[in-house]
């Protein structure tokens, strides 16, 4: 369902490497956050047409490819229910181990509802540590309470 977006994402990864670009470079060029920019280029977000045109110009993509960047995706990019890539699997493992804890603590603090993945921000930073650098991720999603009738 996401074949065109997935194929374009693979092409963008190759171009990004050839040009020596980082996601932060592309993000600065188009005026969006690096995490969102990466997700959009890999097919999980839809760009505004003018943003898609800027991205296409930077990366040397065609007008048709810019249209693909602007199209609404079928979200969800994992090829299997349980991911096999070790890095992605660790996130799955985090949910298995801490998912019920996160749910309980969010409900305790906010009540019955969910954290939005639509009205959502995420940052990723390198945190120096004497035992080896750490990955620091900050997730921020709007709380959406369930309606009560």
For 4-60, what is each residue's pLDDT tens digit? 999 999 999 999 999 999 999 999 999 999 999 999 999 999 999 999 999 999 999
Is pTM beyond 0.85? Reply is no
In the structure, what pLDDT confidence band is assigned to residue 149 with cuts at 50, 70 and 90? confident
Question: Is 93 a known active-site residue?
Answer: yes
Give catalytic status of residue 116 as yes or no.
yes
Q: Residue 48 and residue 32: Cα distance in Å, rounded?
A: 11
For residue 96, what are the contacts with CB-CB under 8 A and spacing of at least 6?
none
How do residues 67-117 score in pLDDT, each as one tens digit? 999 999 988 877 788 888 999 999 999 999 899 899 999 999 999 999 999
Q: Which of 93, 104, 134, 140 is catalytic?
A: 93
Within 10 angstroms of residue 46's Cβ, the number of other Cβ atoms is: 17
Give the integer Cα–Cα distance in Å for 116 and 101: 17
Q: In the numeric block, which tokens belong to residue 17? A: 């490497």
Catalytic residue among 7, 50, 104, 116: 116
Q: Is 62 a catalytic residue?
A: no
Whether the predicted pLDDT of 131 surpasses 70: yes
Of residues 7, 90, 104, 140, which has the active-site annotation?
90
What the chain holds in terms of domains, given with CATH numbers, is 3-70 (1.10.260.40), 86-145 (3.30.1160.10)
């Amino acid at each position: 369902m996401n074949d065109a977006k997935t194929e374009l994402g693979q092409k963008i990864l190759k171009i990004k490497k050839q040009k020596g670009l980082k996601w932060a470079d592309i993000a600065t060029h188009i005026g969006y956050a690096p995490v969102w920019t990466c997700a959009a280029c890999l097919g999980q977000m839809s760009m505004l047409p003018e943003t898609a045109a800027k991205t296409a110009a930077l990366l040397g993509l065609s007008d048709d490819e810019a249209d693909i960047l602007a199209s609404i995706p079928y979200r969800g990019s994992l090829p299997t229910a349980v991911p096999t890539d070790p890095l992605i699997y660790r996130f799955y493992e985090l949910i298995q181990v801490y998912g019920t804890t996160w749910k309980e603590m969010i409900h305790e603090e906010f009540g019955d509802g969910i954290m939005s993945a639509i009205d959502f921000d995420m940052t990723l930073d390198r945190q120096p540590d004497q035992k080896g650098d750490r990955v620091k991720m900050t997730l921020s999603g709007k709380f959406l309470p369930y309606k009560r009738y």
